[in-house]
């Protein structure tokens, strides 16, 4: 039985390598995915605004968390799309289904974020 030579890393070496892989993934997504790039810049504005809009640390955390969730889901969707494209660029119903499901996940995360922010803004300005 073959073992993965990369799975034997432990301790600080593992943490440093994992951090490097994560940074490479963020760089790849930023350079290659226009939707992710747009969401990052919107997140910069919204995360700063969360500290002004939220009255408690919990409110700030929910506002910031909803923004971060959009970025996380977008990264996962990009990973799905990349894996599908790696297999084949040909149209296939299962490939379409996988990409549509990833897109739906992004859409739902955007709806959640919009709802959280809309409610926070309503609460802030309606009183």
User: pLDDT digits over 59-105, tens only?
Assistant: 999 999 999 999 999 999 999 999 999 999 899 999 999 999 999 99
Structural domains of the chain ordered from first start: 34-126 (1.10.287.3610)
The residue annotated as part of the active site, out of 59, 74, 81, 90, is 74
Confidence grade of residue 7 (pLDDT, cut at 50, 70, 90): confident
Write the pLDDT tens digit of every residue in 22-68: 999 999 999 999 999 999 999 999 999 999 999 999 999 999 999 99
Enumerate the H helices of the chain as residue ranges: 11-32, 34-53, 57-87, 93-126
Secondary element (H or E) of residue 7: none
- Model-level pTM? 0.88
- The yes-or-no answer on residue 74 being catalytic is yes
What per-residue confidence (pLDDT) applies to 97? 97
Taking the C-alpha atoms of residue 26 and residue 23, their distance in angstroms, rounded to an integer, is: 5
């Amino acid at each position: 039985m073959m073992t993965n030579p990369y799975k034997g890393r432990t301790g600080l070496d593992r943490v440093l390598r994992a951090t490097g892989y994560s940074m490479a993934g963020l760089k790849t997504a930023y350079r290659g995915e226009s939707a992710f790039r747009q969401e990052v810049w919107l997140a910069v504005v919204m995360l700063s605004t969360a500290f002004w809009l939220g009255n408690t640390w919990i409110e700030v955390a929910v506002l910031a968390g909803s923004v971060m969730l959009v970025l996380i889901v977008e990264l996962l969707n990009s990973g799905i799309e990349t894996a599908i494209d790696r297999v084949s660029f040909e149209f296939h119903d299962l490939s379409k289904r996988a990409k549509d499901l990833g897109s739906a996940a992004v859409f739902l995360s955007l709806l959640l974020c919009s709802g959280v922010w809309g409610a926070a803004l309503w609460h802030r300005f309606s009183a």
